[in-house]
Structure 1
């Protein structure tokens, strides 16, 4: 029987916190931890082919509603390879626990092999970074790390675990404490009254739902009580059912003019769980100075960071929405017909949004210029979005604005997009989501540039039998950069066109299902065939190398 060591305390603490999966890559300083996971047996450990993929899988696992996503890497280069995933999770407020093996304390500060100051390196991109120096403190600090990751504005937490701490004997009396979670803050009643009065007196109200607005029912009750239209922030269109009469689409890159104009014209804006990012606000030009802003966020540091609010409420978005809804009826009843005018305005704007969201036709011959047309791919994505049991994952690619403009998402928790900007997020995140939601089928839509950055981990997907369908939008280009060179650099294309393999043949080589599509009429049958396959699948959607953005849309200039 193996004596109990620090690594066992790590696993015991993770189990108490509800962790069910750990994604990582083996390395010298974490072998004792991997062995402890194997001996304990309660937590599934999955090895990836690159630490970045392990981080993105943990990110996807967290977003899909499982226990906190956990990733694992060894010192130095392994830790550095995780940095992209950690930074992306920090930018998108995704709770994640990052465990990094470290050189033993007896040889620190000697530039030992792969030595790295983990805490200093990761502190700017985490909620907290800590190194544990004694085995008896593992439960205390590791459980605090999980609480920190999931409390308030969520985010990644890094825990550095020196090898000697993992190998040290664990005192028999040291055991993890109970799992503890804190209730989110409720809004101040006086602030709610002031905010409700502003909203009730508005002629042109707008509600902006951000990533912190996770309760659809509470949000829609507020929208209906105020007769106010709702827009979501960039890539957060799953915040409300897109078919609801109050919804006017997402803001950000690819937004319809009616969505942007709603904010420009607003006299009162209620922003729920929204941090006013660069893309959502069109580089901070969208919100008019004259608008009276009610800003709700669980993190007080966000209030006034970009726009000083008339009323700032430090609160969980759901609690604030409920409180505002409860405060409105008496005020609205005495508004002299203002609510009816708002209702009629909302109906007219909704009709305008529905007209704008209509899908442009495909090419007359039924195929794109040398491949599958984007309208055909958009129709396929729309059909997937309507199917029960399907989760759509949108990577960072040129096809994204087509989805923003023309794909409606009505089912809760059925769409996820990456607003952090990290290419290659989609496929690994979809793998993590599929493990968190084994009863649903996860479909990732990736660009060819993104997929090829993490293509080696299709082997992980096959080995671990993760039934992800990845649709690769294959235009042989870094499409976003190509379009910027077209619009901002006189069509001088340099370093943006790619030489791709047959991705379907590559999938079959690794034991996955693979099919290549070169014309519009082949696409939907290929997707149906892939969904019928019980394991991982690739649908390689070949497009013309200049296929890109929706008509009339140009990429924002680099400034």
Structure 2
């Protein structure tokens, strides 16, 4: 077998059945091998960035490895944003690109780019393959590395001549890693039992570790009041009575207040991101910190921990659950206080019941949450709609909430929804997007049409870059700059040009029927939702501020509006 055929054989060995790609000159030997191999489903996206983001969405929704391939030069550079997105959110991904033939590397040949140099900071590891004989071993190592420990993207750059050359070596399977013993939790349990106001803080590491069930058993047993990060939404389940919601810049007042007043913060699978913590010296000022994570690099990076525990989250959560089942925590007063905050300081929204009233973002998302099935997967883009979904949609599982957390990639949602639909053919998949984000990768409507994917698209259109406009209003003296999108196309006509049915709604009395219509339609459909330009996301913490200084619609002052933070 030549190098290209070895790649396909590696896919078969590891049960990789779906890949996302776009062909070109230097990757053409791999595409030639695909002609004779029907075991791998290749999804042709319409832009390489779409390929990477679709592979990302596939991995998030399924928990399996996402794979994307492209050619050299612009093919590789177009992948970079999608790969950076996966890296920041620790998504397992294998990236394969063609490279110019080995003798031409370093000569500025046609479509040559230094892929290793450009991607050094956005991958877990990268390879430039020098011979066909080393390719089988590299493939095995890369596939294992992308999924082990803290997951992430691994990039293999392969010269065209290597893809064409016969490899004489057989692949060496990567040995299975022995399961590590659970670390000693005596000190952690002592700190938990000594605390009067302990708080559970969980993030995306729960689903990355496939520890959702273990986490829920622990939360129900411990009865700890809990907050979640943006990527941790769904960890406690849809009906948890202990969850105070998302914390941080657009978090609930209940969650941020609990963090501010707790005396012990139990952090599991989270990295204390700045959008979650706000100003660090004002974050959980009274709390000791227990930090449990798979990645040692995250521990003590931003906040020193009283106790750091690195290990397998399933094993650790299981041991903690058993210990607390035998001796429950005595924190009833704290639990009652947090329940009071949950009732009075959760995400609230005023709803105008007048049939002709304009549609508001939070009310629309609440209605969507009530109507959509529990197994619905939502892929968001970035902006106000993303925060409304995080605040007001009730997710049954963290893998149902696909969002660009660390990088904040506009254009993520549509290709991620495509990847999620390939990962789960039976579930309802929605792309909730804004008018700005939708236009970033609108070409992927052609991918939906090509494969007749039943993805539902919801565009929340305020004819501007809403989140930028909101910050300009609040923190830049309302000096608007380059945020108008009032020349948007007719989105309904645009969808229909791709043979995708579409409809537009503008009034409150149209919301439920609009949602029910797209959910009931047997195929892809677009819902264009007109919302007011001036609508904001509440609450908000000004960038660089402390979470306890949250601003909401009723509390913002003239000083808040006029303060310039440039």
TM-score in terms of structure 1 length: 0.92
Deviation of the 1:359 alpha carbon: 4.1
Q: Say if 2:529 is the partner of 1:545.
A: no
Q: Say if 2:349 is the partner of 1:349.
A: no
Q: Partners in 1 of 2:532 and 2:288 — Cα distance? A: 47
- 1:159-184 CA-partner distances (Å, limit 9, x unpaired): 0011010011233xx34445755356
Partner of 1:483: 470
4+ runs of 1 displaced by more than 4 Å? 177-181, 329-332
Q: Say if 2:123 is the partner of 1:126.
A: yes
SS in 1 for 2:166: coil
Tell me if the contact between 1:130 and 1:160 (Cα under 8 Å) persists in the aligned partners: yes
Q: Say if 2:385 is the partner of 1:388.
A: no
- 1:398-448 CA-partner distances (Å, limit 9, x unpaired): 123323333222356322222121111111111100100011110111111
Tell me if the contact between 1:134 and 1:165 (Cα under 8 Å) persists in the aligned partners: yes
Deviation of the 1:240 alpha carbon: 1.0
Q: Partners in 1 of 2:398 and 2:270 — Cα distance? A: 19
Q: 1:313 to 1:81 in 2, by over 3 A?
A: same
Matches within 5 A, 1:386-535: 387-411=373-397, 413-420=399-406, 421-498=408-485, 499-535=487-523
Q: Say if 2:276 is the partner of 1:280.
A: yes
Could you say what the CA RMSD is over the residues aligned between the two structures, in angstroms? 2.0
Partner of 1:14: 11
Q: Say if 2:171 is the partner of 1:199.
A: no
Partner of 1:335: none
Q: 1:326 to 1:529 in 2, by over 3 A?
A: same
Partner of 1:213: 206
Deviation of the 1:140 alpha carbon: 0.6
Q: Say if 2:96 is the partner of 1:99.
A: yes
Q: Partners in 2 of 1:392 and 1:350 — Cα distance? A: 28
Partner of 2:142: 145
Matches within 5 A, 1:7-406: 7-65=4-62, 67-171=64-168, 174-178=169-173, 181-182=176-177, 185-189=180-184, 192-214=185-207, 215-285=211-281, 287-329=283-325, 332=328, 339-340=329-330, 342-357=331-346, 359-363=348-352, 365-368=354-357, 371-384=358-371, 387-406=373-392
SS in 1 for 2:367: helix
Q: Partners in 1 of 2:109 and 2:162 — Cα distance? A: 17
Q: Partners in 1 of 2:391 and 2:340 — Cα distance? A: 15
- 1:454-502 CA-partner distances (Å, limit 9, x unpaired): 0011011110122111111111111111111111222221210111112
Tell me if the contact between 2:492 and 2:504 (Cα under 8 Å) persists in the aligned partners: yes
TM-score in terms of structure 2 length: 0.91
Structure 1 regions of 5+ residues with no counterpart?
Answer: 333-338
Q: Partners in 1 of 2:230 and 2:397 — Cα distance? A: 18
SS in 1 for 2:277: coil
Q: Partners in 1 of 2:285 and 2:507 — Cα distance? A: 49
Q: Partners in 2 of 1:8 and 1:97 — Cα distance? A: 17
Q: 1:15 to 1:384 in 2, by over 3 A?
A: farther
Q: 1:154 to 1:184 in 2, by over 3 A?
A: farther
Deviation of the 1:37 alpha carbon: 1.9
Deviation of the 1:154 alpha carbon: 0.5
Deviation of the 1:554 alpha carbon: 6.1
Partner of 2:554: none
SS in 2 for 1:97: strand
Deviation of the 1:367 alpha carbon: 4.6
SS in 2 for 1:152: coil
Tell me if the contact between 2:61 and 2:400 (Cα under 8 Å) persists in the aligned partners: no
Q: 1:185 to 1:489 in 2, by over 3 A?
A: same
- 1:102-153 CA-partner distances (Å, limit 9, x unpaired): 0111111111112111111111111001111111221110111111110000
Q: Partners in 1 of 2:64 and 2:231 — Cα distance? A: 23
Tell me if the contact between 1:207 and 1:230 (Cα under 8 Å) persists in the aligned partners: yes
Deviation of the 1:286 alpha carbon: 5.0
Tell me if the contact between 2:349 and 2:363 (Cα under 8 Å) persists in the aligned partners: no
Tell me if the contact between 2:235 and 2:397 (Cα under 8 Å) persists in the aligned partners: no
Q: Partners in 1 of 2:435 and 2:268 — Cα distance? A: 35
SS in 2 for 1:238: coil
Deviation of the 1:234 alpha carbon: 2.2
Q: 1:183 to 1:287 in 2, by over 3 A?
A: farther
Q: Partners in 2 of 1:376 and 1:477 — Cα distance? A: 20
Comparing 411-420 with 307-316, greater Cα deviation is found at: 411-420
Q: Partners in 1 of 2:449 and 2:515 — Cα distance? A: 18
Structure 2 regions of 5+ residues with no counterpart?
Answer: 545-564
